[in-house]
Every structure is written in C-alpha cells, then in structure tokens.
Amino acid sequence: MKSQDVRSKFLKFFEGKQHLIVPSAPMVLKNDPTLMFVNAGMVPFKEYFLGNSEPKKNRISDSQKCLRVSGKHNDLEEVGYDTYHHTLFEMLGNWSFGDYFKEEAIAWAWELLTEVYGIDKSILYVTVFEGSDDEDNLKMDTEAYDIWKKYISEDRILKGNKKDNFWEMGDQGPCGPCSEIHVDIRSAEEKAKVDAKTLINMDHPHVVEIWNLVFMQYNRKANGVLEALPNKHIDTGMGFERLCMVLQDVQSNYDTDVFTPIIREIETITGKTYGDNEEVDIAIRVISDHVRAVAFSIADGQLPSNTGSGYVIRRILRRAVRYGFTFLDKKEPLIYRLVDVLSKKMGEAFPEIRAQKVLIENVIKEEEASFLRTLDQGLVLLNRIVEETKGDTVSGEKAFELYDTYGFPIDLTALILSEKNLKLDEKGFNEQLQKQKERSRSASETSTEDWTVLFEDDVQEFIGYDTQEANVKIAKYRKVTSKKDGEMYQLVFNLTPFYPEGGGQVGDKGVLQDTHGDVVYILDTKKENNVIIHLCKNLPEHLNESFKAVVNSEHRALSSSNHTATHLLHQALRTVLGEHVEQKGSLVKPKSLRFDFSHFSKVTPEQLQEIEDFVNARIEGKLPLEEHRNIPMEKAIEEGAMALFGEKYGDTVRTIRFGKSMELCGGIHVKNTSDIWHFKIVSEGAVAAGIRRIEAITNKSVRDYFAENNTAYLEMKGLLNNAKEPIKALENLQGENSDLKKQIEELLKDKAKNIKGELKSELTEINGIQFLAKKLDLDASGVKDVCFELGSQFENLFLIFGAENDGKAILSCYISKELVASKGLNAGTIVRELGKHIQGGGGGQPFFATAGGKNPNGIEAALEAAKDYL
C-alpha cells in the first residue's frame, strides 16, 4: 500500500466515525513558553483538553507534523542509528474532546488495523498501565485491560510501567494512562527463538510500538501535583512512517516509499550506495531524515538562526552536513538538492512545501555552504592544535574552544584525532561543556508559580478593538522570577482592552487604577496559548476589587500606524517586486517597523522609491479601515485575503482591508490611512539567503527624522557661513582640500630630497659598512623613501632612523641586500630588539623593517644602541 493511501485510509476511516478531518497545524509553536515545536499530535489541541477553548467538533482526526528534537521528547541522537525514530514524523491521530472514551478508542483502533489495513492479528501486542506506588499513587488501568480482552488473547496484553504507559506532554499539562499497540515484524525463525513479549519496549528495531492510545484524564500542575481534568478525552497517535513499514512489509522506515526517493537521490549525488557500509548508511539515513525536518520548519516560517527554535533547526541541519562531510566525502552543499524530490513526494499532502520550494532550497544551500566553510576553518585550527600538542592527548579546553568559538563539532574532532592516533581528553571537554551550560542556565532560569485563582472565569474577553479603557476584575495571578526581569507578576482579567503581543505587533502598555487612587503599571501584555497575560512589577493591593484598566494610547496609536503601514508595504512589495514576495517575519513597534520577505536580489534604489511612493499614495488616498470579525476562513480567502504560511488560523478569522490590501490579521490598525501621516524606508538589506529586510518609520518617527535631518542641515549650512548654495560650497571646500593635500605631498617630497643630500654627507664608514643612525623630521613614508633612495646608491648601507609622529615613535632600519647576505644581518630582528627602547614592537623583511612604539623619548637610546650591531 502506497504511503499516500495509508494516510488517506486512516483519515477516511475516522471520517466514517463522524470525525472532522483537519489539516496539520504548523510545527513551530508561538505563544507557548513550555514548548518550541509540536512534539505530539495532541499539542495543537492542548487548549481543548484544558478546557480553555472549545473545539469546532468534539471528534477530530488528522495527520500532524511532529518534531522531537528538544525538551522532554528528544530523539535526535537516535536518528540515523536506528531505523524507526525520526526528527520529523507524521502522527496520525483521532481525538475525542469529552465525547467517546476507552471503549470506542480501542474498538476502532483494532478495527482499523486488522480489518481496514488487514494487519495479521498474530503480530500484534498491546500494553496497559500497571499503576504506580509513587507520590502519584495511581491504580492499574483495569478498564482498558477488560476492553482489550474482547479483541486479543490475554497473554498478548502486557502491563507496563509509568515510563511507557503514562503519557505526559512535558513537565506540565494534560496527561493520563495509555495503551500502546506494538508489532512484531521479525522473521519466523527469529520469532521461534525469542518470545516477542520479552522484546516489547526494549528498543528492538523489529518489535516496535506503532500506536499509542492515551486516555487523557489529568492535568500535571507546576508543583507536580495531578489534578483531574473537567472532562475525559481520547488522544491517539500512530507513527505514520512506522505504519508504512508494516504495511509495505519492510524492516525499516527508510525502506518505505516515504524515504526511498530521497535516498536514491542521495546515492545519485554522492555516488555511494545505501546498504553497503554501516557508516555510509547512517549518514544517508541522517540526511534523508534531517532534510525533512529542516524543509518543513522553513516552510512553517522558522529559518535557521542563532537562538531559540531557529537554533534547534540550525543544529539539525549542521548534524546532517557533518555526516555528509565525514562519511559521504561531500565537501559541497548537497542537502538542498533533495528538496525537489521531497516536495514532489510530500507536496500533495503538505502544499506549503511545494509553494516555498525555491526559498527552502536557497536557505538550506546558504546554511550548508557557510557551515562547510566553518568546518574547513576548523580543520585548519585543529591541525594547528595537533601540531602544538605534546604527548598523545589533546586537552579538553582546546577541543572546547574549537567547539564553542568556531562551532566545530566535538565528535568530528574526536574522529580526526583518532585517525592521527591522538586521544581527546573527553572528561576535560565535558567539564567545560558543563560549566558553560551552568552559565547559560543560570542566566535564563525562570521559576513560575502556580496560578492563584481569585474566581473561575472561562471566557476571558478581549475588547481592545473597540475600546482602550474598561472596568476589569483580576481572575487569577502568579509570580514569575527570572534572572533577566527579576520578580514579575502576571495578571489575567475577566476581560481586557490590552492587546497582547502577536502578529508582529508589540503588546499594549498602560495602567490599572483602583478606587483608592493607587496605580499599577502594566509593562507589557502577552499571550500564552489563548490566555492574555498582563505583566507588572508589583501586585495590586486590593486584588478582589474592580479596576479601571487604561491602555497607553500613544504607544498604541504609534504601533497601529506602523502596523497598517506594514500591510501597505506588503501590498507594495507584491505589486512592485512581484507575487513571489511572501512575508517571512514582521515586527511592529511604536517607533518603527521591520518587515522580512522572500525575494532573491537586492531591492534597487528605484524600486525602493517606487515602494515608498506606492505606500504614501495610499496614505494620501485616506483609505478607511474595513474590518470584519468572525468571517469563515474559506470566505476570507475567497475574497482575496492574504494568509501566511506557518500561522495557525481558527475556523473564523478577522480580515483587515484598506483599499485593495486585505489580510487576515488580529492586530490593531488605524481608522484611516491618513493617520499614518507619512511612510519612510530607512534601510534595506539581506537577513538570510533569499530573505530581505526593510525597516521603515511612520508618523511621529518620520517627523522626528525630518526634524533631525533639518537641524543637521542648518548646522552644516551655518558652518559654511550660510552659503546660498551649500552643496556647491561643500564641493568647493572638498576641492580645495584635495589641492592642498597634493601640495603638501610635493613639499614633503622636496624636503626628503634635500634631507637625502645632507644625509649622504653624514654617512660614516665602520668596518666597510656605510652607517648612519639619526632622528629625522619626516613621516613614516618619507623615511622609507629616503632609505630606498640612498639604498639605490650604496651597496653596503646600514641605516637606522627614528622619527616622531603624533606623539608616537617610529624606528626604521634599512640594510643593503648584499650585507644581509654576507653578514647575516636582519632588519626585522634589529627593529624588534631596538623597539624595546620605544616601548613598541614591529617587524618586516630582512632588508627593511619598521617598529612603532609609545615612547618617543627612547628614540635617542635606540639610535645609540644601533651601533652595537656593527
């Protein structure tokens, strides 16, 4: 069965059981401080389990892109070495939000596997939770056990511990007991030798878990305590690639049609064959896996970078480059060349990958090239370290420096050293690594207390589109302590006019006033999942009373101006540069805006002018805001609204239209484009391969900008004696200046000529050498000219000249080439030694060298000492 059919059969089956089929949510998470990437199918639905928001339907099914490379679920180091763990994989899932529970979940899983997919029952095993006698004190899941008994003989139902049979997303959040379904795909002989039951959950590549049915009934709180969820839910996750392995009757995920086209392409590019050599195979598996993770992440809007999720992606890509570099002998970019096959293979189910193919290729290629350069430089440094190493062990500190400062991977260091019969002090290296980790941990550590709930409130209404002021009550609050911000409080209101940071726009600031005249400042507003959080330094005193919440209106007005300008800029870019322009990032602050977009060459000054004019024409056109809230997503798209890749949209959306610019947007905008006043681009440049950035200002910032420029202009004009034509006056000055420079050069040349004549007569012959040590009143290049002119007239010259320029001392030494050869004199060595007198150093060639120093008073002593060389 082709992988495409495996996926669609799953979704069709659950559609038949009244599930709503939804597309995969973006893999990169925003607004979630506990998690960077979706690591399980349930993550996008977390809010439904917690009861913070309502699903469109209480039965849903999907295939979700998951990434397990950080945090609680991290399979990165396994990938490539085994045949069934990936970084990015698809998780097929069916969900019940407070609807059906264990009975149906188990019955349907069994029906799908054995009847629809036709998997032989004799290869299936299941597990149930055995309970725990730790602080959670949980009972065995006898309910699940009894249901399974109806389908499978009891000797195939195994009891499992908390590690395998109690599912948790992270340290906090929804969780519950689970039942796993395992397959045994070993050969008949192997099956006869070892009982499958002894291999379950024992990391055997052919006795693997394919599906996990989670019976969600608890929430793990920050203090570690389990609390019963308001409703019971079903969350199941089946590894798509593993299921394909079973249904395609192969022994490895990499032998399914999900991976074989990519692997064939790697073989073609590198000339290696998969299946001949274990190291090569690992490298091929690593690359074919990692290209998927990186490509999907870029498609979701997360580019490789130096921090956060971007850094995780960069590390994955670098891991792939390193394996290619080391085991496939590929010293030039290769991974980007796989994107084409990938997009052909996956583009149907995940259109984002097809739509952004060129961008993905460019970004990966650039990253690869830059890391390959790092590896090259690292190799040079490593060779130097090897040369300098005495004994047979390279110190952990040196290896760490290479790793930390130059990004050179430690396993590569170890490998190269072992090829040179050297050892690496791994203990020393790990100590350094540990120290660094502690440094960065203590810098970023935050502790978050549990919420103190003042009253239960399900709907926390945002009313900030219509008003900037409201009477509010505090529903809950908590304290967060971090190194960076110290102690802060987070408040949640029953309703709020404060806009939480999102869609690129910064959060609102403002105040909270009580009836006693006390005021607490709201310093920022953020969103965590769906909850709006107000940050303040102090907790209000009368927590249970009602407050007047007032948004800082200037902060908001200026942000709104920049946000609307961002939409107009987006429209301008697509009009002037072309429809290929996609938004890749945006930051909207009161002072300025920043907009990143895909485009493959520099935007020319003419284009920038055209873009600026386009936006300003719309500002002058006084276009009114047309806002629609809660319109169905399909309708908005049909009407031409622009949606962004990687953005998670609800079923109904808000659209913002100004003239022909129409976007899906949750941000705050001006009522009329004329409020923007004026738009000015202040910079344009590259941020990554194929991604450009424009920075611009509007409104008050433009006024300030013009005012500053004008002041500078007037000052300049003043300095030019208020010339009528200041530019002409400046050009004249510049002309005069360069004429004067030329004249000075001529004069200095003449002076050097005269000096040369005098110096000739001062030469003294000592031991057949024409010698002179003297302080000259010339600059460094004048001294050099003198040396070389005298040098062209004598064959046995030894000159030491001192000079003083701008309070610094210079020593120059010239020795005829003949003397260098016959007497073994070296000007470089001599100036270095004499340089001590002037507190400086220098060097050069054996026949001419100079030294610079801080102490002009030492020049005489240096000249005196020069005689000693004769």
Q: Which residue is nearest to ligand ATP (CB)?
A: 239
Stretch that binds ligand ATP, among 232-240, 321-329, 493-501, 567-575 (CB under 6 A): 232-240
Instruction: Give whichever of 211 and 493 is closer to ligand ATP, judged by the CB atom.
Output: 211
The residue count for binding ligand ATP (CB under 6 A) is 16
Distance in Å, CB of 383 to ligand ATP, minimum: 37
Cβ contacts of 621 within 8 Å, gap of 6 or more: 659, 673
Instruction: Give whichever of 40 and 670 is closer to ligand ATP, judged by the CB atom.
Output: 40
Q: Which two structure tokens, joined as six digits, stand for 365?
A: 């290629």
Output the known binding site.
563, 567, 665, 669
Determine what percent of the chain falls in helix, strand and coil, rounding each to the nearest 5. 45, 25, 30
Longest dimension (CA), the chain: 117
Cβ contacts of 135 within 8 Å, gap of 6 or more: 224
Distance in Å, CB of 631 to ligand ATP, minimum: 36
Distance in Å, CB of 512 to ligand ATP, minimum: 42
Instruction: Confirm or reject binding of residue 209 to ligand ATP (CB under 6 A).
Output: yes
Stretch that binds ligand ATP, among 151-159, 239-247, 386-394, 644-652 (CB under 6 A): 239-247
3-state secondary structure 253-312: HHHCCCCHHHHHHHHHHHCCCCCCCHHHHHHHHHHHHHHHHHHHHHHCCCCCCCCHHHHH
CB 58 within 8 A of CB 66: no
CB 554 within 8 A of CB 648: no
Instruction: Confirm or reject binding of residue 83 to ligand ATP (CB under 6 A).
Output: no
| DSSP result, 166-194 | EEESSSSEEEEEEEEEEEE---HHHHHHS
Distance in Å, CB of 210 to ligand ATP, minimum: 5
Q: Which of residues 33-52 bind ligand ATP (CB under 6 A)?
A: 40
Distance in Å, CB of 554 to ligand ATP, minimum: 49
Stretch that binds ligand ATP, among 52-60, 234-242, 477-485, 529-537 (CB under 6 A): 234-242
The total of other beta-carbon atoms located within 10 Å of residue 626's CB is 11
Q: Which of residues 493-512 bind ligand ATP (CB under 6 A)?
A: none
Distance in Å, CB of 217 to ligand ATP, minimum: 16
Instruction: Confirm or reject binding of residue 804 to ligand ATP (CB under 6 A).
Output: no
Instruction: Give whichever of 89 and 336 is closer to ligand ATP, judged by the CB atom.
Output: 89
Instruction: Give whichever of 86 and 527 is closer to ligand ATP, judged by the CB atom.
Output: 86
Instruction: Confirm or reject binding of residue 850 to ligand ATP (CB under 6 A).
Output: no
Distance in Å, CB of 233 to ligand ATP, minimum: 16
Beta strands 59-67 and 20-21 are parallel
Distance in Å, CB of 213 to ligand ATP, minimum: 9
Beta strands 691-698 and 764-766 are unpaired
3-state secondary structure 640-654: CCECCCCCCCCCEEE
Q: How many angstroms separate the CA atoms of 231 and 99, rounded?
A: 9
Instruction: Give whichever of 87 and 826 is closer to ligand ATP, judged by the CB atom.
Output: 87
C-alpha closest to that of 461 among 521, 547, 532? 532
Cβ contacts of 790 within 8 Å, gap of 6 or more: 756, 759, 760, 797, 799, 814
Distance in Å, CB of 436 to ligand ATP, minimum: 28
Residue of 65, 68, 526, 567 that binds ligand ATP (CB under 6 A) = 68
Instruction: Confirm or reject binding of residue 210 to ligand ATP (CB under 6 A).
Output: yes
Residue of 156, 232, 242, 290 that binds ligand ATP (CB under 6 A) = 242
- Which residues lie across from 65 on neighbouring strands? 90
Instruction: Confirm or reject binding of residue 211 to ligand ATP (CB under 6 A).
Output: yes
Long-range contact set of residues 222-230: C-beta below 8 Å, sequence gap at least 24: 222/172, 222/448, 222/449, 222/450, 223/450, 224/135, 226/136, 226/175, 229/49, 229/50, 229/51, 229/174, 230/51, 230/98
Distance in Å, CB of 68 to ligand ATP, minimum: 5
Burial class (CB in 10 A: 0-12, 13-18, 19+), 224: exposed
C-alpha closest to that of 206 among 76, 68, 86, 83? 83
Instruction: Confirm or reject binding of residue 237 to ligand ATP (CB under 6 A).
Output: yes
Stretch that binds ligand ATP, among 53-61, 86-94, 578-586, 659-667 (CB under 6 A): 86-94
Instruction: Give whichever of 93 and 497 is closer to ligand ATP, judged by the CB atom.
Output: 93
Instruction: Confirm or reject binding of residue 403 to ligand ATP (CB under 6 A).
Output: no
Q: HSE, CB side, 13 Å, CA atoms: give it for residue 57.
A: 12
Stretch that binds ligand ATP, among 98-106, 208-216, 583-591, 679-687 (CB under 6 A): 208-216
Distance in Å, CB of 1 to ligand ATP, minimum: 17
CB 445 within 8 A of CB 480: no
Stretch that binds ligand ATP, among 153-161, 205-213, 500-508, 683-691 (CB under 6 A): 205-213
Instruction: Give whichever of 239 and 590 is closer to ligand ATP, judged by the CB atom.
Output: 239
CB 336 within 8 A of CB 368: yes
Residue of 13, 37, 89, 493 that binds ligand ATP (CB under 6 A) = 89
Q: Which two structure tokens, joined as six digits, stand for 862?
A: 């240096």
Residue of 19, 59, 65, 85 that binds ligand ATP (CB under 6 A) = 85
Instruction: Confirm or reject binding of residue 212 to ligand ATP (CB under 6 A).
Output: yes
Instruction: Confirm or reject binding of residue 86 to ligand ATP (CB under 6 A).
Output: yes
Q: How many angstroms separate the CA atoms of 697 and 595, rounded?
A: 11
Instruction: Confirm or reject binding of residue 10 to ligand ATP (CB under 6 A).
Output: no
End-to-end alpha carbon distance in the chain: 92
Task: Kindly give the residue spans of alpha helices, DSSP state H, lying in 542-681.
Answer: 553-576, 605-620, 633-638
548 — phi, psi (to 5°)?
Answer: -95, 120
Across the beta sheet with 583-588, the strand order is 583-588, 593-598, 691-698, 679-688
Stretch that binds ligand ATP, among 236-244, 558-566, 719-727, 756-764 (CB under 6 A): 236-244
Run of H or E including 219? strand 207-220
Stretch that binds ligand ATP, among 49-57, 203-211, 588-596, 783-791 (CB under 6 A): 203-211
Instruction: Give whichever of 82 and 457 is closer to ligand ATP, judged by the CB atom.
Output: 82
Cα 664 to Cα 30, 354, 466, 548, distances in angstroms: 17, 22, 18, 31
CB 95 within 8 A of CB 42: yes
Distance in Å, CB of 608 to ligand ATP, minimum: 46
Q: How many angstroms separate the CA atoms of 665 and 656, rounded?
A: 6
Instruction: Confirm or reject binding of residue 663 to ligand ATP (CB under 6 A).
Output: no
Distance in Å, CB of 320 to ligand ATP, minimum: 16
Instruction: Give whichever of 242 and 526 is closer to ligand ATP, judged by the CB atom.
Output: 242
Residue of 15, 47, 75, 610 that binds ligand ATP (CB under 6 A) = 75
Per residue in 526-541, is it b (16+ CB within 10 Å) or e — as a string?
bbeeebbbbbbeeebe
Q: Which of residues 266-305 bind ligand ATP (CB under 6 A)?
A: none
Output the known binding site for Zn(2+).
563, 567, 665, 669
Instruction: Give whichever of 243 and 689 is closer to ligand ATP, judged by the CB atom.
Output: 243
Question: Quick check: helix, strand or coil at residue 230?
Answer: strand
Distance in Å, CB of 536 to ligand ATP, minimum: 38
Residue of 25, 35, 91, 394 that binds ligand ATP (CB under 6 A) = 91
Distance in Å, CB of 96 to ligand ATP, minimum: 17
Stretch that binds ligand ATP, among 206-214, 372-380, 650-658, 812-820 (CB under 6 A): 206-214
| DSSP result, 725-775 | SHHHHHHHHHHHHHHHHHHHHHHHHHHHHHHHHHHHHH-EEETTEEEEEEE
Q: Which of residues 546-605 bind ligand ATP (CB under 6 A)?
A: none
Residues at the contact surface with ligand ATP, assessed by CB under 6 A:
40, 68, 75, 85-86, 89, 91, 209-212, 237-239, 241-242
